Structure 1
Amino acid sequence: MVHIFPERLRELWSEWEIRAMVLASLILQSILILIGNRRKHSTQSLLQFLLWSSYLSADWIATVALGVLSSYGDGNGDSTKPEHIIKAFWAPFLLLHLGGPDTITAYSLEDNELWWRHLVMLVVQVVVAFYILIRAWTGDNMLNFLSLPIYLAGIIKFGERNWVLRCASSKYFRKSMFPRRDPGPNYARFMEEYHSKRLEGFDVSSESNIEAPTFGDHIINVIPSNDNVRDVDNLRDAHNFFEDFKRLFADLILSFHDIVKSRSFVQNSTCDVVFKVIEIELGFIYDVFYTKAVVVYSHMGGFLRFISFLCTVVVFFAFLFIEKQGYRRLDISITYILLAGAVALEIYAVVLLLCSDRAVLWLSKQKNVVADSLNHSILPFLPTEPKRWSNKIAQFNLIRLCINDKPTNWGLPQKALCIYETMEMNRYEDFQTVSKELKELIFQQLRKKSRSAFDYSACKRLCSHRGLWVLEEEKCLDQLGWSIENAEFDQSILLWHIATDLCYYSGMLENSSDAELNEKSNFKEISKWLSDYMLYLLVMRPFMLPNGIGQIRFQDTHAEAEEFFRGRNSVKDAKKACATLLQVSTKIPPLEVKGDRSKSVLFDACKLAQALRSLKWKKEKKWEMVSHVWVEMLSYAACQCQRSQHAQQLRQGGELLTHVWLLMAHLGITEQFQISKGHARAKLNAR
């Protein structure tokens, strides 16, 4: 292989190998710290790819560079020459880079589970870096001594990252929330006293006082806050709830005290406030799983951050004044770049730290001159409405996919790489901003459900509703109940998705005797958004939905729809496609014709659309009912989704499904809490 490349090219690579690697490592760290946090409020595929490639490449390049440095100079038999000493000085910087930025420690949850592998890597790379420094040690070179503070800072950074990964792993994250060991009242001593009193001739009875859980109002005790800080009330409430509800992400149960407190808050707050609090709360969860928040926002973390920052700054200024004779000018320039980059990244990390929600929350609780001065210096640079998630829902539509209303741009390369189908699906994926009307509808529906429950058992039963509750309330269960009661959940999604499209494009729910839809209501558009969002989850995020054959059912429905439209070339838009579908009679049930061979529900959905049309209601009421059915389906899906899938989506802009899941938990509509009789206090009565 050596003879493949020209000798001049090999010499150039040999000269620039280490230099290129350390500079590339610094560039990758800069990318990670600059865009690491943006992924929690961005759905852009390009940003996700850039972050993914940078995250994987950063560790690889730093590791390879340390390996190359460990053997540098062996060819000449001397590793203490000036050109080797200055390159050995770069080794601790690679340790700093392996420690990673504060904004991203794990790309996905799986990285947290591999903390032990990072621990082995930490030990190996620290030993390798120490070996590089020892080989280049002369005892009279100032650069050797300056490498020690950077080496210490590198160990701190690398150790921080490993500790954070360990804390965020499922085992230790769950363990960190276990309460202290509590044996409870001494039952054996109680019974000994009971028998002792009986033997003494007393008539003994026990009396138990139970603190029973109630649905009454609960007032949260708050610390007086600094009113000059942005969103201070929402930050405080979100942090209080975060400390309790983070147990949901560890598959632990909530206590009835947690439910009473949060339920009262949600019932007595506005939609905007509640969704804002949930956004902040999920931001705290994101920080725990994907950043160094566990370490950075602790007293020990602050001390370690001060040490590493001090080491970097001291070495930077010391390098300005040491003797540099004997070193190549190019290597000196690269060393300056590494030092300046390390200092700049540390300063930027401090700025991000001071502007974070946790820091703002902490400053709001302080009543001193230092906190006030920090507030006045930071507040002008803080956005009035910081982005904490994408505030978007993805849209995917079956009819558009079948009629191919987007020209294809994919060709042979995508087919050769076996990603044609995935890329084709992504072409039909759009994003819709989550409107205030949509949030208000979800909020009011869930709050209404919560108020209808008079005990915790009823709250748990609400989790199993996936549309029937709405149909029963609207007294149309006989006409429409078959689409939900006798169907699997993924089947119901497809049925109602197609039926919603048929009604939306054909105007089936708009009878000629009705007036125009109320401009203030937006049930028709909300129904369309939720319909396309639920199909997106079924097709692109199937693991967020209950187990089933949703993808098989979708591909069969897709195939039947494509075959239907292929014979009708004149169908070029969604409106015509829906009108054409509705011309097919469904008097004979499709199951009698097709049997169980195909799982397609295309014409069953046409039957559902006709049933919706047969309702003798005003069109506004019809669309209101349809939107309520979709909200209930969304709520059911949120309850059934695994907590790990909710946590995974926080790194891709977030999902509305996760916000609904947490909102339902705050209202007590969750299966993850204990129905308890309360704390009991027993005493003996002797007569």
Structure 2
Amino acid sequence: MQLFSERIINLWNKCKVRAIILLSLVLQIILVILGNRRKLTARFWIRIIVWSAYLSADWVATVALGGLARTIGDSEDSTHVPTNALQEFWAPFLLLHLGGPDTITAYSLEDNELWLRHFLGLIIQVGVAFYVFLRSWGNTYLTFLTIPIFISGVIKYCERTFILRSSSSEHFRDSLPSTPDLCQDFVKVTEQDTTELESLEGLTKSLVEPHDGIHPKDRSLILAYFLFERSKFFFAERNLDEKERKRIYSIFEDKESVQEAFKLVAVELGFMYDVLYTKAAIVYSRLGIVLRCITIFSSVSASVVFSAIIDTHVYPFIDVFITYLLLFGAVLLELYALILLFSSDWAKLWLIKLKISQNNPFSKPLANLFGRFFDHSQSLLTGSKRWSETMGQYNLICSCLKKVQPACIQVQKLPFMGKLLESKFLTWNMDVNIDHHLREKILRYLNKQGHRLNKDDRSYLRRDLILRRRGNFALRKRYNFNEMNAYWCTFSLEFVDSLIIWHIATDICYYVDLDNIQRGDVDSNRKISKYLSDYMLYILVFRPSMLPKGIGEVRYKETCAEATKLFKQKRDDEDDISSETKACKALLQKYNPGDLAQPDDFREEEFSMSRSQSLLKFGCILFGQLQNKAGHDYKKKWEIISDVWVEMVTYAAHSCKWKEHAQRLRNGGELLTHVRLLMAHFGLSKQYFQNLLPQLTKLETETETETEIEASTRA
């Protein structure tokens, strides 16, 4: 039985090439407009649209090119058929589409690793387009108009393949020089002359400042570019020496402006995104500018000549209409890409270089002219945001409460899509703007540790201790918890178990204290603690690859199942647990902290056996411990909790591999990535090395224990 009628099949055979060509153009427009937006927002719908367009664009263009080749192959002399002659002119436009826009070359880092596959596609698709071009060769204006578009298509496709190769992990690492660029065109680096021994004792002073003549408003951009040249070594898993550490630290030393510090990192990560996911590496080079001039001139000249010379009356109207769409679409996309080029940070660096140039008297007026255009276009297209400036929020209790409610539609049971829909739409998941107080607390903690490292001749020993902190240091040194009370809920557990326990305890404290919060008795530490608690659980559920390896997802599911069972039992007993506060009280009734053995009553072997027990119970124990320690001093309790969460965030940020941080740049960015880079700038990274350190600290490490070294540090 024939599913479609003969008429519909014939209509599709006549229109399929036209439809696919138009679809390819639409996909290119989507990628040009939204391809660069994904680094500024974490919105789910933008990711879905860009993902769909990116995966479909190459396939659609390839199918269209094959359709054109088949059409010309079915015609014995296509040059005498008006329909075929005009459609063959579309082939080089498909090469332009396969080359992709400047705003996106790779959807994810894995696409960069497949550059060889794209290189093979380049050879095949250019060969097919060249075959179509040769078969349609004739002494007509249309034939000669095909040449510039064909050249532009080859240039675009070669650019994309080259960028994918350059951004692959192996080639990106190998392309870095032995030492970072000093950026002498933009900054001046001054250092005190000392002996190597004095250098190890931290007596040297590095200072990185922009050159004279650079406007104060451009200072952040210049310093961010200097930092970017060094952050490339971090992302490539390369090491930097002690001299570079001091140069980087001099930029952040005693920096009191939280907004400026986070802006530097945001601009720096924006440069990194451009290098990994766009054509920035070639577009903003001299060769790239020349190639861009060629492609723009080719598109504009072909459009003008086609409109002025070609007699369109001999061709079908629909084909003429599509041809005009392709021509003017190519021109508009090139112009839009040119506007984006001039509104980028890379272009502004070029303008700054022109302004301070002493060799060319015409450079400064030219830079001022382009600078006015740059300021207007940047504010119009991108605004002031550098990344999403949000962090995901996910709460265990809220999620479990929603699961015990009767579902209107059983979408969870749908095959294949059920889990995806449940995780994206049916769970309590949202984004919140990152609070200024949260940034300030993180920066104050990192600034204090960086200042101590810079003044300490045993900085590498102390650095390793700081990087191992998971809340235990804050509990012991700042709030005088004994070793067992501090370690049982932090250092003695797997990190994910500790995270879940502290998430539960934080929630219980948060909702039990609601009455006091309404009276205004609790400061911003409560808000910080709640945000970080829900953010870290969001990372565990939706970004588990960013956390240390373990059985975190299993432990989380077990805890969710236990909580859901408890809440469902309470509901069946007609107890009201419709709110988070009542759910927390139900947990405390089930696991009364006063009736449970306290951690300081555990023997070590008993505690080791208890690790397979309920994390809900341990969360209630921790809640009781915090209540007993703080008493009615709510301010102190939330200071304890917020300090623990800051240490846990820094531990998670450093434990996450740079590749995972780079992956998150394409989804609006993550707070963990910004924290990790800030840590590196303050010296909290194992990618700094010092050759003479082991010889000078050998005796100290033999005579002084780790506990004694840590005890000498005061927060």
Tell whether the 8 Å contact from 2:232 to 2:272 is kept in structure 1 after alignment. Answer: yes
2:326 to 325, 338, 347: 338
Question: 1:573-627 CA deviation, whole Å, 9 max, x = no partner?
Answer: 1001111212232434599899769553001110000000001462112101110
1:267 match = 253
Code of the residue aligned with 1:423 in structure 2: it is L
Amino acid in structure 2 at the alignment position of 1:642: K
Task: Measure how far apart 1:78 and its partner are.
Answer: 2.5
1:528 is the counterpart of 2:530: yes
Residue 712 of structure 2 aligns with which residue?
none
Q: CA deviation at 1:217?
A: 3.5
Q: How does 1:85-164 map to 2 (within 5 A)?
A: 85-138=85-138, 140-164=139-163
Secondary structure of 2:392 counterpart:
strand
Q: Residue 511 of structure 1 contacts residue 619 of structure 1 at CA under 8 Å; is this kept in 2?
A: no
Deviation at 1:137, TM superposition (A): 0.9
Distance in 2, matches of 1:477 and 1:421, equals 44
The one-character-per-residue Cα deviations of 1:37-73 (angstroms, maximum 9, x if unpaired) are 1111111111111100000111000001111111114
Aligned-partner Cα distance in 2 for 1:370–1:408: 67
1:25-45 per-residue CA deviation (whole Å, 9 max, x = no partner) reads 111000000001111111111
How far did 1:509 drift?
11
Higher mean displacement: 621-630 or 415-424: 415-424
Alignment check: 8 A CA contact 1:405 1:573 kept: no
Give the aligned partner of residue 452 of structure 2: 452
Change (3 A) 1:621 1:180: closer
Amino acid at match of 1:154: G
1:641 match: 656
1:320 aligns with 2:307: yes
**Are 2:267 and 1:280 equivalent residues in the alignment?**
yes
Identify unmatched segments of 5+ residues in structure 2.
181-194, 356-363, 694-715
Q: Secondary structure at the match of 1:259?
A: helix
Structure 2: distance between partners of 1:452 and 1:472: 19
Q: Distance in 2 between matches of 1:511 and 1:68?
A: 67
Amino acid at match of 2:248: S
Q: Secondary structure at the match of 2:387?
A: coil
> In structure 2, do the counterparts of structure 1 residues 419 and 331 end up closer, same or farther at CA, with 3 Å as the change threshold?
closer
Cα shift at 1:365: 2.8
Q: In the superposition, relative to structure 1, how do residues 511 and 659 fare at CA in structure 2: closer, same or farther (>3 Å)?
A: closer
Number of equivalent positions: 644
Amino acid at match of 1:443: L
Q: In the alignment, which of 560, 563, 581 is matched to residue 575 of structure 1?
A: 581
Give the aligned residue type for 1:657: L
C-alpha RMSD of matched pairs (Å): 2.5
Q: Secondary structure at the match of 1:485?
A: coil
Q: Does 2:481 correspond to 1:476?
A: yes
Q: Where does residue 564 of structure 1 map in the other structure? A: 566
Q: CA deviation at 1:326?
A: 2.2
What is the distance in 1 between the residues matched to 2:122 and 2:406? 47
Per-residue deviation at 1:100?
A: 0.3
Amino acid of the structure 2 residue aligned with 1:606: C
Q: Which amino acid aligns with 1:611?
A: Q
Provide the C-alpha distance between the structure 2 equivalents of 1:659 and 1:431, rounded to a whole number of angstroms.
Answer: 17
Q: Supply the AA of the counterpart residue of 1:243.
A: E
Structure (1 or 2) with the greater helix fraction? 2
In the other structure, the counterpart of 1:465 is: 469
Counterpart residue identity of residue 513, structure 2: G
- Between the aligned partners of 1:530 and 1:39, the Cα distance in structure 2 is 24
Is the contact made by 1:96 and 1:155 (CA closer than 8 Å) also made in structure 2?
yes
| Conservation of the 8 A alpha-carbon contact between 1:503 and 1:509 | no
Identical aligned pairs, as a percentage? 41
Alignment of 1:11-22 (within 5 A): 11-22=10-21
Q: Which residue in the other structure is 1:174 paired with?
A: 173
Deviation at 1:430, TM superposition (A): 1.1
Q: Distance in 1 between matches of 2:411 and 2:74?
A: 44
What is the match of residue 549 of structure 1? 551
Tell me: CA distance 1:664–1:215, structure 2 relative to 1, closer, same or farther (3 Å): farther
Change (3 A) 1:104 1:410: farther
* Partner Cα distance (2:211, 2:24) in 1: 44
Question: Where in structure 2 are the equivalents of 1:287-436 lying within 5 Å?
Answer: 287-324=274-311, 325-367=313-355, 368-383=364-379, 386-404=384-402, 411-412=409-410, 414-426=412-424, 427-436=427-436
Return 632-641 or 7-16, whichever deviates more: 7-16
Q: Is the 8 A contact 1:111 1:165 kept in 2?
A: yes
Report the Cα offset of residue 290 of structure 1: 0.4
Closer/same/farther in 2, CA of residues 261 and 413 from structure 1, 3 Å limit: same
Post-superposition shift, 1:468? 1.3
Letter in 1 for 2:391: I
Matched residue SS, 2:206:
coil
The aligned counterpart of 1:652 is 667
- Aligned partners of 1:91, 1:268: CA distance in 2, in Å? 59
Contact residue 412 and residue 422 of structure 2 kept, 8 A: no
Change (3 A) 1:465 1:209: closer
SS of equivalent to 2:432: strand
Cα distance in 2 between the residues matched to 1:44 and 1:558: 26
Q: Is the 8 A contact 2:344 2:378 kept in 1?
A: no
Shift of 1:331: 1.0
Greater RCO between the two (CA within 8 Å, min separation 6)? 1
Shift in CA distance, 588/262, structure 1 to aligned 2, threshold 3 Å: same
Matching residue's letter, 2:173: R
The answer for unaligned runs of 5 or more in structure 1 is 182-207, 679-687
Q: TM-score, normalised by structure 2?
A: 0.86
* 2:625 alignment counterpart: 611
1:503-556 Cα shifts (integer Å, max 9, x gaps): 0000299699xx9536xx400010000000111111111110001111111111
Q: Secondary structure at the match of 1:394?
A: strand
- Secondary structure of 2:489's counterpart equals helix
* AA matched with 1:452: R
Report if the CA contact (8 A) 1:223-1:365 is conserved. Answer: no
TM-score, normalising length: structure 1: 0.89
